[in-house]
Amino acid sequence: MYSENPCLGPSNDPSQLRWAGRDAQLYANTGNPGPRISSYWPHGQTEPRACDTDQLPGADTPDCAYVYGWNAAQHAYVAALDAYIDLDWTDADAERIPDDPTWWLDVEEANSWRNDRSLNVAALQGAAEYLESVGAEVGFYSTPRLWNRITGGTDAFASHPSWHAGARNEAHAKRRCSDAAFTGGELRMVQWIEDGLDANYRCP
């Protein structure tokens, strides 16, 4: 979170976004490190929710976790918009990414999370609702095990699609399309690793 992938561009390396084309879907890390660890943790912010204000002091709250997720998603969105501008896919003064691509939010233990799963859910809600506020569809990338460990198996995102990682091969990915999605919504894709690279099967 709060770091741009140079493959997105602009950078000295070729833009994978250009290679993927205008119909590309986008992907962002998520997390909830809490106020003790993160230099990006909100303080004194009143929108979209009040966080650690004079009227409502306290930084380690569900509202602050929500604002943290909202701000991180906004940062990711601006980075992606800058890449679209750099590719001349939209105007230099554009405020929205053209055609409202789907965003996948990565939920994995490699990122920082709290023991209080309700705070993790709040951060994910903030991220998802920011992206929805700018017209994006939002899905979640994880595994059922990681989703349960990080969110407690919340059903707060039952209207959102899932992208499951962890299949052994393509045949296994196809079979796993019949699994229940960890969000409770639609299972869109299943991922496996082949020749050292991620491969994905789009479920019918």
**146-191 pLDDT per residue, tens:** 999 999 999 999 999 999 999 999 999 999 999 999 999 999 999 9
Question: pTM of the predicted model, to two decimals?
Answer: 0.95
Whether residue 6 is preceded by a cis peptide bond, meaning omega within 30 degrees of 0, is no
Give the closest residue to 26 by CA, choosing from 117, 134, 122: 134
Give 110-114's long-range contacts (Cβ < 8 A, gap of 24+): 111/1, 111/29, 111/30, 111/31, 112/31, 112/32, 112/33, 112/34, 112/37, 112/38, 113/31, 113/32, 113/33, 113/150, 114/32, 114/34, 114/65
Residue pLDDT, tens place only, 105-117: 999 999 999 999 9
Task: Report the percentage of the chain scoring pLDDT > 90.
Answer: 93
The mean pLDDT of 34-63, rounded to a whole number, is: 95
Band (7; pLDDT cuts 50, 70, 90): confident
The mean pLDDT of 54-70, rounded to a whole number, is: 96
Instruction: Say if residue 100's pLDDT is above 70.
Output: yes
Instruction: Say if residue 123's pLDDT is above 80.
Output: yes
